Amino acid sequence: MRSSRRGFLGMAVVAAAGSRMLTASAAADRYPSNTALYADPALTEGVDYARRFRRHEWFDDDLTQRYGVQRTVMLAPHGGGIETGTSELCLAIAGYHPATLEPSSPVHDYWMFEGLRASNNGELHVTSTNCDDHVARALAAGSLNAVGLHGCTAAQAGLADGTEAVLVGGRNNAFKSRLLTRLNAAGIRAIDAASIPDLNGDEPTNLANRTLLGAGAQLELTTPLRVAMFGTNTRADRKNTTKPVFWAFTNATRAAIADVEATQPII
């Protein structure tokens, strides 16, 4: 069985555009699963790492009407200081302002794992195929669609140094097509990741593909694109210094989600 970068990815810190961005290395993950990471007595939740999620309430106690339910979940398994910028995008695409958490309809469920350290957050990276966090798995398994947000370098994407782009992968081809169309129309260089095995997110065990449909979407943003999204690229300030490209990316992704959900009537 072919392994991919998501199957044994480690992270290393590099300098980019005057800001610290985290990128991938070929080293194996320190932890084989989230369960193993959570069990490490050397780590403290709230100090080394954090988990954030929102599962919106579902109920229908009306005998005559049908009510909608959440169909899409946003996932950032390497947020905070691990693959920087993905936490903020996760919240915004889910419909919550990353600084204030003010909601904007429609809203979507989300889950993220975040590195909180001042450095060495790459040690907290657990590949998406090995993510066994119970909440993350439950949210993905209860959704028709999932979007996994990740970061990569331009070199890993096979692009020239400094290229701002996003690779669109995952097993849901219809969703991928919508994302490619919407992102490119918004002025974001979006590339089909199908020809890039290490980044195409096609493993069935990838968290984003553990949906009711057995397929989801994965977005791999290059370091230069993520740098361009924020005025000040620190964990404390990213949420307060989002730039137009951040919102262009967010709105295009939300539009693609709406496109896909329009084809999924509640039965």
Per-residue pLDDT tens for 183-201? 999 999 999 999 999 999 9
- Measured CA to CA, the distance from residue 49 to residue 42 in angstroms comes to 12
SS3 state of residue 57: coil
Q: Six-digit token pair at 148?
A: 């996994």
SS3 state of residue 168: strand
Spell out the CATH class of 13-53+68-261: alpha beta
Contact call for residues 238 and 88 (beta carbons, < 8 A):
yes
Q: What confidence score (pLDDT) does residue 38 get?
A: 98
Q: What confidence score (pLDDT) does residue 267 get?
A: 73
Q: Six-digit token pair at 30?
A: 């320190």
Residue 18: how many other CB atoms lie within 10 Å: 7
Q: What confidence score (pLDDT) does residue 265 get?
A: 85
Residues in the chain predicted with pLDDT less than 70, given as ranges, are: 1-27
- Measured CA to CA, the distance from residue 157 to residue 163 in angstroms comes to 9
Judged on CB neighbours under 10 Å (0-12, 13-18, 19+), 231 is exposed
Please provide the distance, in angstroms rounded to a whole number, between the alpha carbons at the two ends of the chain: 37
Q: Six-digit token pair at 81?
A: 């200081």
Positive/negative CA dihedral, 4, 176, 75, 209: negative
Q: What confidence score (pLDDT) does residue 67 get?
A: 78
**pTM metric for this prediction:** 0.89
178: nearest Cα among 96, 265, 252, 93: 252
